[in-house]
Structures are given as structure tokens and as C-alpha cells.
Structure 1
Amino acid sequence: MSFTRVLIANRGEIARRIQRGCRKLGLESVAVFSEADRDAPFVAEADHAVCIGGAAPSESYLNIDAILDAARATGAGAVHPGYGFLSENAGFAAAVEAAGLVFIGPEADAIAMMGSKIEAKAAAEAAGVPVLPGYRGEDQSDARLLDEARTLGTPFLVKASAGGGGRGMRLVTDLADAPEAIASARAEAQGAFGDPAVFLERYAPRARHVEVQVLGDTHGTVLHLGDRDCSLQRNHQKLIEEAPAADLPDAMRDDMLSAAVRLAQSIGYRSLGTVEYLYDPARGEYYFLEMNTRLQVEHPVTEAITGIDLVEWQLRIGRGEALSFAQTDVQFDGHAIEIRIAAENPAENFRPETGQITLWAPPAGVRLDSGVAAGSVVGHHYDSMLAKLIVHAPDRAGAIRQAVAAIDGFAVGGVGLNLSYQRALLTHADFQAFRHHTSGLPEMFPDGWTQPTPDAGDMALAAMVLHLHLAPAGASPWESLGSWRLTAPAGRPGTASYWTTSEDEPIRISGAPAVLAAVLPDGQTITAETTALTGGHLSGRIDGIPFSRIAHVERAGNHWRVHLQTSAGMIVTDLCTLEDQHLTRAAGGSGGADLLSAPMPGAVAEVRVAPGDTVAAGDTLVVLEAMKLLQSLPAPVAGVVTEIYCAPGDTVAGHAPLVKLDPEE
């Protein structure tokens, strides 16, 4: 079981995290990468790197033969699957072992057993772990499933046996909807996992998601490393994770921990694993959900409160080492929170964001597990999660404050992220009081969530940031602004003007750094003294009170983008100079309301119309797949379809024309 070189069958931030674990133990790392990831940080930082195929996961990160060929070619003695992709594929684990390599994870039989939700729940019951009432039988006929549904009663869930992440799951609140729910869950399960088997389970509407980290070696020792709460979820995808689980009765916590260890022992489990529970506070009960047989995305919060390097111990166990500590040696310190940072726009139904990262300025003093850097290209082929921000404090309130402060100091350009949304979750009264639950987002934001916008003072400061950025150091801006200056013929000598995208009238800046005045479109004037833009900070005084804000400026297409730290978080303001206004007018516009264009690069999954079809505004014309999500693209206007520029299976670029309409008169 000895090895000195580890192939990492994954990408992005988890590949970099495993590389750090390898370096800690003096092991060499081998990165495998797709054509799309050729310039990614995890490739550059590996000791060895091999391209294994095209950008599509099926051609690279899911290509077992290519991965094993790369392991043989580089002399790797072990394979670490990370999470996602092949990490819970029993066939992959068996193939690695058959090739004479060490699989850094549990045995294939354990992966297969826990990969079937039906088998996993049977194993949990056998180990004395409570499970939700429901039906998990082999008879998959419609008649049997509908009969069991009537016995179970509503509300209940139809769930894919081989599922995960909310795929193949349907909520039934009316028995009349059960046949359609079963049929659609089966179809999605077949398409996503190649297995149409489903089961029925009672639905707990205000439940929490609590999980227990277990660690087992090859010598028969199994320990728990505490619990985590992952209740803040959207579409069954975790958003924020924390350890330990707060507001959990001590007796309940102890029972969950011991049950997780008991289950792992009963199946002879080795390596890292996570036993996940549904906790129903109203009933005072918990139920087994599933066991994840891999490293979890949220493992850093457990590392933070225990001081135990989980990746290091995965590798040590892979080498056959026995755990060097007992259960009583595991101590828990403080509270940790992890925020998943994703390339998506929550204000537009979480639309995936793609493009090149032009600015990457993370906060200092906190842990950031990231797969990207300035210059990285975010494509549509992979999951939208780019990084994870982890904070650790003596208590939960302190951890929340640290997390908010870290988000407020994080500036990213070129690709939109979900940081403002995560900040809204952290500062929401329900989250802070621990009233949230797995389906609670509609309660937290009943009218939906909107992106925060700068107030008058923030807009004035953003214009000052750009003004100082455009003036060379040491020069009077009135000598250096050139074509951006409005001079005496315009009636405002020595005044520079900047337009936001939402105002026809500009923000006018006058004066010098000693005293800068900003006149807003509504006539309000804000004056700042001793202003300076240095080292990514804007500083000065307003009404005699000093201030210092994180501030970054970047060029974004035909305008400037200012990132400014405010009391509402990091706010982005798009500003145009006078020259930008003239250049945009000279270039003219393109497209129009009669043209449906791709909002991002992606693969065309469906085209739902044909030439000659009459459509209403909002009708779905094309379904685009990007970042593992399906995006329904609606008709921008009512009219008749005149031309279609794409077909199912096509890969299209961002802003590519898809459907042309003849608008309704």
C-alpha cells in the first residue's frame, strides 16, 4: 500500500486542496486536466500534469480509461477522486484497484451499497439507525408505488435510488399528482444516473440537515469528528455549512454521533465518510438520509474546529496507517462557517456566469479554498462553484461577523458571483436566530431577492474612485483628463463627468484631492477631503470623519467598473466617461427585441419551436445547458418565429443569436 505519487482525478479547488495534502506528506501530485483547464491553477501547481481529453466531462474527468492511462504513464501509485465526478463510482474504485493502484477512499462494495439509497437505508435500519417512514421495496410497478403512496399519505417525496443533489426528486402534496411525480422522477433518474428505481419517503417540511463526519482506518477503528449543519439550501444544494450544528439537544447530538459510528462499523467502513440526517425539531426526531462515501465539500469546517487535516488522514489511511488518536482525543474548538462561492447571478434566477476573471482580490486573514485566480476562464462545462470561504471564531455569532466582513472585502471582476446573496443569507434574522430550515428560502425572501444598489453617498465615492484612478499620480486631474474633461465652453470649467447606467444626467466631480466635490444628478453635493486611492483603498474625510474603503477599478468592455466596500457589502458601480459615451454612440447597437440570444456559452438541449410558429412573450423557445443546469430561454416579444440558428447538441457562444422573431404588431 506504499506510494509516493498520487493522481488527483478532479479539478479546481478540490484538486488544489489535495495537492496541499500531498505536499504536507512529501508526496508528489499528478494533475489530469481537460483541454478547457489547460491554464488552470491546479494544473500549474501540480508536480506532473497530463491532458486526458476534451472539455466535456465525458471526454475527460469521467473517462476512466484515460485517467488510468495517465496514472500508468506518470507512475502514480494511488488515485484520489476528490468529490463529484467519479468519487462515488464503485466501478471506478474497482478499476483503480484492479490496475494495481490504491484508491484513496472506501472499498468499492461500500461505495455501491451506500450509492443505492434503498440499500443504504436497509443497512441503516439493520444498524439500528432510524429512517424516515416510506416504501423502499423492489416492486417498482406503478400500482405498487401508488398503493404505498396512499398508505404513506401526503406530503411525501419521490426520490431516485441512485440520486443526489435533488435530481430525480419530486414533492407530492396531493395524491392526484402522484402518478406524474413518479413518472417524471423515474425519467430524470434514468437520464441522470442510468437507474430509474425510485422510493417514497415522508416529507418533513421544516426539517434541518445535520451530518456527522466519520473516519475509519484499515485496522478496524472508526471515529466521529463531530457534526455539521447544512440546512441553508436551494433546490437541495447546500449554500452555507457550519460546524458544529447549533441549537441541537445534547442527547440528540450524542445519539446521532454514535449512530453514525455504528453504521460505519457495521459495513466495515474505511477512509472518510459522512452520515447525513434529517432532523425534525417539531417531532424531536432524526432520520438517516444517506451516507456520502467521499470527502465532502464542507470538510474545512470540521478541520477548523478539530484541528485535524482530513485530506492528510485520507492519504495516511490509504497507505495503511492506523489512526494515531482515539475518540477521546478529538476535541472541538469554537465555531466555523463555510460559504460556497459560485459563478451565478442570484438576482436573475441564479443564471450561471461565464467569462474571464479580470479581478480577483480576496480578503486576507481567512481561509479561501479556490480553484481560480485573476486571468482564469470560467466556462460552461463544469459546476459553478469556484471557491469556498471558511471562517473560524470562538462562537457562532463571531463566525457570522467574520464571514460578513470577509465577503465585504472580496472584490471580483469579469464574472459575477453570488457573494452579495450569501451576505444576505448570513445577515438574515432567520439565519442568525437559527430559524432557517432546508426549504426555508421562500420564507426568508418571500418577494425574492434583489441585488443591493449603491446609495447616493456610495455613488459619489465610486465616481471619486474612478476620477482618482484616471488621474496620473502627482498630476492635477485638470491637466490629465484629456477628452474626458468638460471645459469652459460647456459652462463648467474644471469639472469631470461620469455617467451611471441608470441615470441620464452625470455625476460631476470638481476640485482636487485635497477637496473633491461630487454633484449627483439630483443636485445633492458630497464633499470629501484629503482623498487618496492607494493600495486598493480609497481614504479621506467626510464632515471631518475619516474613512477607508476597499476600492478597485477595472475596465469592463465599453465602460469602467468600480468595486467599493460599503455598509451593504461590496457594491459594483458601472460608470462611463464622456469619451465612453461618444465611442458607444459611434459603434452603434446590435441585436434587438426581436432576437433571442444566448445569455452565456452553453450546449443547446432543446429547441421548442419551428419556423412559422406563433409565440407569446415569455414562451420558452430554447433550453440551454450550462454549468450542469438547464436554462429556459424565453421569447423576448410576442410574434412569429422566422429563423432558427441552432439545433439540439450545438455548442453556442455567449450572445450568439438563437431565434429570430417577427414581432407582433
Structure 2
Amino acid sequence: MYGQKGRLTLNVSKGDLMEIRRFNKVLVANRGEIAVRVINACRDLHISSVAVYSTEDALSLHVQLADEAVCLGAPEASDSYLNIDRIIRSAKELGVDAIHPGYGFLAENAAMADACERNDIVFIGPTALSMKAVASKQHARQLVDSLSLPTIPGLNRLVSYSDEFVAQCEAIGFPVLLKATAGGGGVGMRIVEHGDDLQAAFEAVSRESQQAFGDGGIIVEKYLANARHLEVQVLADHYGHCVHLHERDCSIQRRRQKIVEESPARLLPAGIKQSLCDTAVAIAKHINYRGAGTVEFLYSPEHQQFYFLEMNTRLQVEHGVTELVTGIDIVQWQLRLAEGEALTLAQANIPQNGHAIECRICAENPSKGFIPAIGTIEYWAAPKYQRCDSGVQSGDRISIYYDSLVAKVIACGNDFFEANRNLQTALNQSVLLGVDNNLSYLRKLISSDSWRGGGLDTQAVERNHALWSSPLSVGDRDYLLCSALAAISDNAESQPWPGQHYNPQIWQVSIAGMSLDVETRTGLNDRQTLVIDGQSFESKVFSVETVERGLVKRVDIEVNQHRFRVLCGVRGSEVFVHGDTIGALNFTLGSVGQSVVEELSSDVISSPMPAKIIAVSVSAGDQVIKGQVLLILESMKMETSIVANRDGVIAAVNISEGELVEAYTTLIELAEEK
């Protein structure tokens, strides 16, 4: 438990109270870290938990932690985590009292809430009526307009592309933002700079929304540059009592998805903060909201004006930062309010102590536009002293079917600077080997002057991307490279892996598409000399310890009289190495292969990642120009357009719609123009 500060006894008569229905068993209709979070909250309240899972998730952590588990079906979300009938049937068969939807999937699906009510199962969230009032961005805009609160100029729900739609967008003025009317989390959003791109963006948003939320509806808003993304957490009970738990700043985003959140929001005028919180409570009360919800806003520092964005009728990914500054366990309160308890939190007594910051660790490659990554997690270690919400363990596989979130690291302190220092240490201690990830990116981000200065807006990632995604310094790269190669060279008795048994050894190393020839020479007393780009390094391995499934070793090593410890793993020709105070490095040993798409022949269009083919726009014999969209891939709920890398003629199309492909699969072959 995270504590329950600021409690009081409400003046609610017995006649006003509904009968409290204590839960014996709760089904968690989700996966990953949020399923783990809810299962742990149930355990703290002595409630049995039921996990659901797809065949892809059969060995997942949330399945192992729950008291019971049931398989919903195939990996596709529509066959499993979005299958309302199957979830309800499982809940009834297992005697479940309530269903917690987590976030995403069915969390904001009114049909799910209705289905629970029809089957006498408590939906841990708002009523379907309240959800319908704001879960659709269209209805939410109309409601807030009726309250004379500021909304962003735009259009309500659209169901088809038309000339009238194009004219309306032109009247709003480009750039515009196309958004799925259902769901959230950055899924189903596109910024459109020009009218020529409107139709393709419309179709992409509709597809993504239908796939993720079962609703392809779209609204359009004027895109506001240089705005901050702020939000207010609310809690409400069945009896009309509603409080806010202060604000969060969620402006650090990529692909319109948050990656860093903090509370309180820095450099925010006190009057604006109070108005935000009052507006959030007013909206929640107006729709008779109950449970946990979040009201989101865009704020223009230049004009000191905020605009209603949307209300999320569910638990937020970033709820942890609010828990750390208020001492209030939001998930436990969700369960208690759903049982019918009165909210015993007084607004005046809800603290906002110190500062908390969250970073989302994701399986993706920031240097390649945050392209999602899949693969096996050879080793995962959470930080030792700060909070980490995670749903994975070493040996798990990150698949193409779900989003890329691996874990959330949340640090707190007496003020921002203490919290940020604690977060830096926590990220340094976090180790994720075996799959591309954004840990190095996050470490650079929170160490940057621009982040420490505060007040960043939603364009911060684009402006700072080159700095935050920069590779390791040559010095740190070489230290990590030396550590790994010293550990896998030819002294089989003292090294974790046998190498080639001759001296010297010549290694060809590929790092992010760059090739290096490295020579290692074993000397006396187990010392080695390594030569990288003409520079010599003297190393000695003191100890090697197996830490995970025989694949990952902890190595105590000295390089040029600098002694430190690293974690090192080998998978085939791939090598992964991590040092807490240095960083992480992935590289390939042997001949340089197709490590990056750009290295392939211009006659071949290949998949940059494992993915599903959503649409193919060309056929053999078609003439294409450079930049033309050839096909669309979908991976981890996000779409990627593949374009022609030069003018030419389609020689062959090697895939079809609906097909699953691995990374570097040849999709299309180009020939010269005739």
C-alpha cells in the first residue's frame, strides 16, 4: 500500500448509502504492467484475482501472479483482450464479482460496462452513461462547450472522407490533428500539415482506431504547437463527492504518446493550476462521475490559456506519480469505490508533497524514429531503491501484437532536483538486454539542461531529438566494447564464453551500421590488449558470475586501470553489454549483415521491423516515384508507411495484406524505369 493520507468522515446518512458489496474475486481484463499493478492491489485488499491472457501471453508475469487465469484466444486483440463476450463468459464461469479493465483495450468501452451490468458483474469504473458522455471525444467536446469552458477549434465525429470534410479542414486551417474519437494513449492520431496528406492520414487513423478500440470514428482539431499537455486526476464516489489529486505535466511525448510525466507541473502559475483543478472537478460532477478519471488539457504559456482536450474515464498509465506525491493508492480506491464505499478524502487535506517523475521504458529504437522493437528479453533488472511498475521478466518475448511499454520507473524527492537525481540513479540501475529500448534516450533526456530548466512543451522531443538520441561517446563505447570482447575471448577457463583458440584474434564488430575491426591479444597473467581504431586498451577480467539462465554474466573487469562491473550477454552473433555508470551497447560479431535498412540495395524494399501487412498500394509493373507510399505495416498498434527509395518500376511484390513478416524481409523489388 502507498498510504491513505488526508482522510475524514463524511456526513453521509445511512439512508443515503448504497449497500456495500465486498468483492471476493476480481477479473483483470488486461495484460502487462497494469494487470500486475491491479493484481497486487487486489492482494493487498485480500481479494482473489483472475488473469486473462492470449495464447501469446500464456507465460506472462500477470498470469503467474494471479490466483486464477483463463485463456481468451488468439494473440490478436480482437480475438482476446477486446472479446467482450468471451471475457463476460469467463467471469461468470469463475464466479467473478467485478472486472477491472486497466487502461487501453476495453477500459473506455461503454459496451463493456453495459455487458457487466446486464450480467450482475461490477465494472470497476464509471457507469456506461457517464462514460458515453465523455469517452467519445465528440460528446466530450459538446458537453464542455455547453459548460462554456474553452475547447480547441475543430469538428465533431466523422464517418467518411468527403469533399465537405476537406473544405472544413481548410476552414480550420492547417496543420490539423486527426484523432480517434474512441480510446486514447496516442493511438489513432496524425498531424496533417497539408491538404494533400489528408486522405491518407484519415484512412490510417480510422484503421488504427478500429483495430485498437473497435471504433473507427474520427474528430479533427486545430493543431496547437508549443503547448504543454497538463492533466488533473479526479476521484469520485456514488454519493456526489468528488476531489482532485492535483495536476501532472505530460508534455514529453513521441508519436503523441507520453514517455515522461511529473507532478507537480513546473513553472505553472498558481491561478492556472487552481482553474485546471476546479474545471476537472466541475466536469466530473456534471456527468455524475464515479471512480478514478483524468481530465486532460492543452496549455499555452504564451497566452496563459488552457483548453479542454479530453476526459479519460479510466486509470492512467502515469497514475504512479500522483500516488507518490499524495500518498493515496488510486487503484485501491478504485476497488473500494466500486464496492460502494464513500470517498473519505477531504480536498483540503490532500497533499502534494515533494516531486515525482516517471519514465516509460519501451521496446523501441529512438535513433530510428522510435520504431517498435520485438525480441526476447535476455535480462531485465529493475532499479533497487525507486518504484518500478513492470509486467515482464527475463526470458519474456516482446511481440508485435501489443504496445511497446516494458516498465515504468518512478522516482520521488523533496523537490524536482532531488527527484531527478534519484531518477537518474534508478535509470542507470535499470537493465534491459536483448531487445532495442529507449533507456539510453531517457537517461540523456533527464540529464539535459532543457529538461532541468522546466516548462517544455509537446514539441520538445522533436527539437531535442538529435541530442537525446545521440550515441554513446567514443570513450564509453570503447570501454563497453573492450569489456565484452575481453569476456568472450580465448581464455575459456576464466571467461564466460569460449572464443576462437588462437592469438591474436580479429573481430569484425557492427555497431548501428558502422563496422570496426578489433584485435584482441592475450598476454601474461590473464591480461589482454585490445586495439580499436588504432587505440590500445589493456584489460584484465577479475571475476565472472552467471546471473540469468546461463546467457548473461556479471563481469568484474579493469580497462586501462579503470575497474568497473558490467553485465554482458550473447545471443548468437549479437552481444549486449551494460554498465551502470557508463550506459549500454548492442553490437554484432562477425561479418556485417543487414543491420540497418539503409545498407540494403536500392533495388529492394525491406521491412524495418517484424510487422503485419495492413495495405499494399502497388502491383508488379507499376511505375513509382521516390517517396511514394508502397505499403503500410502495423506493429505494436502503430502504423508505418513504407515508401519508394527511388524512382522505378515494381518488379515484384513478395507479400500480401494480412501477412506477418520478420524484420528485413524483402517486401518489394524495384527495377529501373523502362
Find out whether 1:399 has 2:412 as its counterpart.
no
Find out whether 1:523 has 2:562 as its counterpart.
no
Match of 1:484 among 497, 500, 514: 500
* Superposition deviation, residue 498 in structure 1: 4.1
Match of 1:552 among 564, 567, 570: 567
* Superposition deviation, residue 656 in structure 1: 4.0
* Superposition deviation, residue 164 in structure 1: 3.6
Q: For residues 607 and 154 of structure 1, do their structure 2 counterparts lie closer, same or farther at Cα, with a shift above 3 Å needed? A: closer
- Structure 1, unaligned runs of 5 or more: 488-494, 585-590
8 Å Cα contact 2:174-2:222 kept in structure 1? yes
Q: For residues 112 and 565 of structure 1, do their structure 2 counterparts lie closer, same or farther at Cα, with a shift above 3 Å needed? A: same
Q: Which moved more, 1:447-456 or 1:10-19?
A: 447-456
Deviation string, structure 1 residues 360-402 (Cα, Å, up to 9, x no partner) = 1332212221121111111111111122111111111222222
8 Å Cα contact 1:460-1:520 kept in structure 2? no
Where do residues 646-665 of structure 1 align in structure 2 (5 Å cutoff)? 646-662=655-671
Deviation string, structure 1 residues 405-446 (Cα, Å, up to 9, x no partner) = 22222222221111122223222322221242012322223x
Where do residues 27-106 of structure 1 align in structure 2 (5 Å cutoff)? 27-106=47-126
Find out whether 1:251 has 2:243 as its counterpart.
no
Deviation string, structure 1 residues 51-87 (Cα, Å, up to 9, x no partner) = 1111110001110000001101111110000000010
* Superposition deviation, residue 44 in structure 1: 1.3
Where do residues 609-620 of structure 1 align in structure 2 (5 Å cutoff)? 609-615=618-624, 620=629
Deviation string, structure 1 residues 426-483 (Cα, Å, up to 9, x no partner) = 22322221242012322223x586451352464245323442466779x567xx9976
* Superposition deviation, residue 200 in structure 1: 5.4
8 Å Cα contact 1:30-1:50 kept in structure 2? yes
> Residue 505 of structure 1: SS of its match in structure 2?
strand
> Residue 87 of structure 1: SS of its match in structure 2?
coil
Counterparts of 1:135 and 1:195, CA distance in 2: 17
Deviation string, structure 1 residues 596-625 (Cα, Å, up to 9, x no partner) = 443433221122332233556765443221
8 Å Cα contact 1:335-1:392 kept in structure 2? yes
Q: Which moved more, 1:423-432 or 1:300-309?
A: 423-432
* Superposition deviation, residue 354 in structure 1: 1.0
Q: Which residue of 2 aligns with 1:588?
A: none
Where do residues 16-415 of structure 1 align in structure 2 (5 Å cutoff)? 16-127=36-147, 129-133=149-153, 157=177, 159-162=179-182, 164-166=184-186, 171=191, 177=195, 181=198, 185=202, 188-189=205-206, 192-193=209-210, 201-415=221-435
Q: Read off the aligned partner of 1:571 and give its amino acid letter.
A: A
Find out whether 1:571 has 2:584 as its counterpart.
yes
Q: Read off the aligned partner of 1:229 and give its amino acid letter.
A: D
Counterparts of 2:39 and 2:375, CA distance in 1: 26
8 Å Cα contact 2:292-2:313 kept in structure 1? yes
Q: For residues 121 and 182 of structure 1, do their structure 2 counterparts lie closer, same or farther at Cα, with a shift above 3 Å needed? A: farther
Q: Which residue of 2 aligns with 1:491?
A: none
Q: For residues 469 and 276 of structure 1, do their structure 2 counterparts lie closer, same or farther at Cα, with a shift above 3 Å needed? A: same
Q: For residues 602 and 138 of structure 1, do their structure 2 counterparts lie closer, same or farther at Cα, with a shift above 3 Å needed? A: closer
8 Å Cα contact 1:466-1:553 kept in structure 2? no
Counterparts of 1:482 and 1:555, CA distance in 2: 11
> Residue 641 of structure 2: SS of its match in structure 1?
strand
Structure with larger Rg: 1
> Residue 435 of structure 2: SS of its match in structure 1?
coil
* Superposition deviation, residue 234 in structure 1: 1.9
Counterparts of 2:532 and 2:84, CA distance in 1: 60
Output the TM-score relative to the length of structure 1.
0.86
Counterparts of 2:378 and 2:540, CA distance in 1: 31
Q: For residues 602 and 255 of structure 1, do their structure 2 counterparts lie closer, same or farther at Cα, with a shift above 3 Å needed? A: same
Q: For residues 513 and 237 of structure 1, do their structure 2 counterparts lie closer, same or farther at Cα, with a shift above 3 Å needed? A: farther
* Superposition deviation, residue 246 in structure 1: 1.2
Counterparts of 1:153 and 1:412, CA distance in 2: 44
Counterparts of 1:187 and 1:463, CA distance in 2: 45
- Structure 2, unaligned runs of 5 or more: 1-20, 548-552, 594-599
Q: How much is the aligned-residue C-alpha RMSD, in angstroms?
A: 3.5
Aligned residues: 637
Identity %: 37
Output the TM-score relative to the length of structure 2.
0.85
Where do residues 583-622 of structure 1 align in structure 2 (5 Å cutoff)? 594-615=603-624, 620-622=629-631
8 Å Cα contact 2:42-2:49 kept in structure 1? yes
8 Å Cα contact 2:157-2:181 kept in structure 1? no
Q: For residues 538 and 663 of structure 1, do their structure 2 counterparts lie closer, same or farther at Cα, with a shift above 3 Å needed? A: farther
